[in-house]
Every structure is written in structure tokens, then in C-alpha cells.
Amino acid sequence: MVVKAAQNALTQSKDDKPAEQELETKVSEDTPALALAGLQFFVADISQKTILWHEIGSQSFHSEVKDLQEAPSNLALRNLSPEDRKTILRLIQGAIRDGVAGPFDVGGGPDHRIPGIPIVAHRYELVDGRIVVICFPSIGEDENPGRIVLGLAPILQHFVASSNRVVLLIDNFGYVRFASDGFVKTFQIEDARLIIGRNIAHIQKRVGRTIVSLALGALTRRASASGRGKFLLASNDAIELTYEAMHFRIGGTVGGVLFSAGRIGGDVDFLKVFEICSAPMLVINTKSKMIIAANKAAMKTYHLTNEIMDSKPVTEILLHPNNYSSLLGAAQSETEIPMSIPVNILNGQTKKKRFRAMLVDKDSKEPKLVLETRS
């Protein structure tokens, strides 16, 4: 039934744009991205390089009914891990070659300690000669009821990634599986890859001993804990949080501790505040000179895209190196007087803008330069 529904959905969709135009599509808030949590099926159109998929709302963090969605393949898979993207590509290639491929497990992490979703793929040729590959979750021939937790890893990952709180998931063996952006920033982790997939007992120097002691205690006692307390960071600073360390177990081996915390003053999603600011704002890594964040006003004013920000430093796209150095110097001297600096806007124009420059994370290895200007 799933295959038939996917075929009907594909034939009822409007004519696709040429692949070249699809690949040039800009990433925006409205550009859908495939999520493994709640996925029912997806269809890969080989010639058009697009993916059509269906998600159910009950597995969505905000309980939104996603229904049918479509996007160029490179954009549709952008939120998946590199390992999952490679697995899906191998699955599609296998179906094109052999007619059927899989099941291949996706979403379970590099060692699949927490079960992911096994997906199978079938090749199908449309009336006009186009080849599509229809993929959907399947437990294969093994209908072992012990596999009731299939798909748990993508759901947990989706929950952690969607939370604006301080969230850390440690599996039953003590390995860190998922960490929210809030956890990475609050505990001053330079790169999440330094802790993901590693035993929490071995990363005390990166996350501080308090969180390690709490997590190992909850795992050892197989009991939850909650309260309010100070957490020591790796920098020897401390932060006060209200927290819950929830021990869970599903089946014989799947389980762990879900740590969730918020600041004493309450949870505020400062990223949302940053986005709604009407003044264009840029955040620049002073070491790499890369733009690491830009609010909506800045994206519109400077005609920026995520691809451009990820590929070139600010001194190659917006600011002359000498002008960048002047702004950095103004920030270091903590001057309150805005500086008038020419900006090479990415629509081909050059305009003078009055910038207010500020430094954050001064004591870290990579301070951030915040540039604010009028619209």
C-alpha cells in the first residue's frame, strides 16, 4: 500500500522544474528538509534530482502535520548526518542497479547502539521513461517483536535538536549520543564532534566533572534525579541550572539518561530574539573571519545566502580586510561611536554603512565580532 500511495502521489504532482533550476534553489525557512522521525516513505526522482516524501505529524516535535513535501535532493537531505546521506545514496544506487535494495539501517548513529530505521528501496519506471526509486521503512522478514523500538534513535535525535533547552542524551553504556545546541553553548564545547560518540567518563575535561558525576550516578543507580544546582564547566566557571536527569530503559539493552536543564531565570530562545531584530546583525569568528550567524535583516540587506557564508570569509565578500581590521580594533577598544564603512553588497552595489562593533567571548580561543548597523 505504501508503494502504491507513493506512485499515486508522484504521478499527481505538477511537472518538475529542470534539475539545474532546482539545484540553484536557495535554502530558506520554507525549504523543507526530510526528517527520519515520522517518515512514512520517500520517492527519489533520478532525472529531476528531487525527493518527494511523506511525514506524519505525530512524530514531529511540534506535532505539525507535514503531509507530502518535495525538495531538490541536496536540500532535502541537508539535515541528515553524512553517514545517513551516504547510506541513502547507496540504497538508491542499489535499487537502480538491482531493482531492489535494503534494508539498510539509517538514523542509528555510527554504531547503531540505539536502533535506527531499516529502509528498503524499489526501482520503478514511469510511463514517460523516468526512473524513480521508492523507499520506505521495513523490518524485513524478521518480525521479531523485540524490535519494537525501531526508529527510536531518529525520534530522540529530532527531540534533542528541536529543543532550545540544555539537553544531553547518554546511552545505557555511557556514550554521548545527542547534544542540543543549548548544551554545546552552555557548557562551552568548542565542537560537538569532540563529545558525540564518546564515553562521558572520558570527556570530563571538556564538559566539567559535575555533569559527568550526575550522568554516571543516574546510570549506576538506574534512577532519575532532579533539582537545582551549580554545574562546573571545563573552564572552571560555574553555571546554575534547574535540571532533570531522567533514566529510561526500553527492552533489555536500549536505555540511558536524558539530561534536560534550563537557566534559573527561565528558558529564553535568544536565537529567536536575534532573528526578529530589525537592525542587520552579523556574528563573525575573529580567528577564521567566517560569518557564523546573520539575522534575517542582515541576510536581506547584504543579499547573503548560507552557501556563501559557509564558503568565504567576510573579508572576501562584504568587507575590505583593512576595514575589517578597523572594526575589530574598534570592538577591542570598546568604543561606542559607530564607524562608517563601505560594504560590498552581493547584488553588485557598494554602500556605506555605520557599524557598531562589539566583541563577545573575549576570553575564549575564538572571540566573536558582532557587527550591528541600521537597515
Burial 147-159 (b: 16+ CB within 10 A, else e): eeebbbbbbbbbb
pLDDT in tens, 27-67: 455 677 887 766 778 888 888 888 888 876 544 444 455 56
**Coarse DSSP helix, strand, coil percentages of the chain, rounded to the nearest 5 percent:** 30, 30, 35
Q: How many domains does the chain have?
A: 3
Lowest-pLDDT range of 87-91, 240-244, 364-368: 364-368
Q: Quick check: 353 pLDDT over 70?
A: yes
How would residue 315 be classed by pLDDT, with cut points 50, 70 and 90? very high
**Cis (ω within 30 of 0) for the bond into 137?**
no
CA-wise closest residue to 124 among 115, 111, 133: 133
Are residue 153 and residue 223 in the same domain, yes or no?
A: yes
C-alpha cell recorded at residue 10:
508522484
Answer with the one of 263, 291, 322 that is the final residue of a domain: 263
| Locus of grid cell 502535520 | 65
Are residue 125 and residue 221 in the same domain, yes or no?
A: no
d(CA 200, CA 239): 19
Q: What percent of the chain has pLDDT over 90?
A: 7
Q: Quick check: 190 pLDDT over 70?
A: yes
Answer with the one of 220, 248, 263 that is the final residue of a domain: 263
Are residue 130 and residue 48 in the same domain, yes or no?
A: yes
Burial of 39 (0-12, 13-18, 19+ CB in 10 A): buried
pLDDT in tens, 142-176: 544 444 455 666 767 767 776 768 888 888 788 88
- The overall average pLDDT reported for the chain is 77
Answer with the one of 218, 241, 263 that is the final residue of a domain: 263
pLDDT in tens, 226-271: 888 888 888 877 888 888 888 877 655 667 888 888 865 555 555 6
Are residue 308 and residue 360 in the same domain, yes or no?
A: yes
d(CA 356, CA 375): 13
Q: Which domain holds residue 354?
A: 270-374
Q: What percent of the chain has pLDDT over 70?
A: 77
d(CA 294, CA 279): 11
Are residue 149 and residue 249 in the same domain, yes or no?
A: yes
Are residue 51 and residue 67 in the same domain, yes or no?
A: yes
Are residue 225 and residue 200 in the same domain, yes or no?
A: yes
Q: What pTM did the predictor assign?
A: 0.43
Residue 27 lies in a domain: no
d(CA 9, CA 6): 5
Average confidence (pLDDT) over 342-357: 89
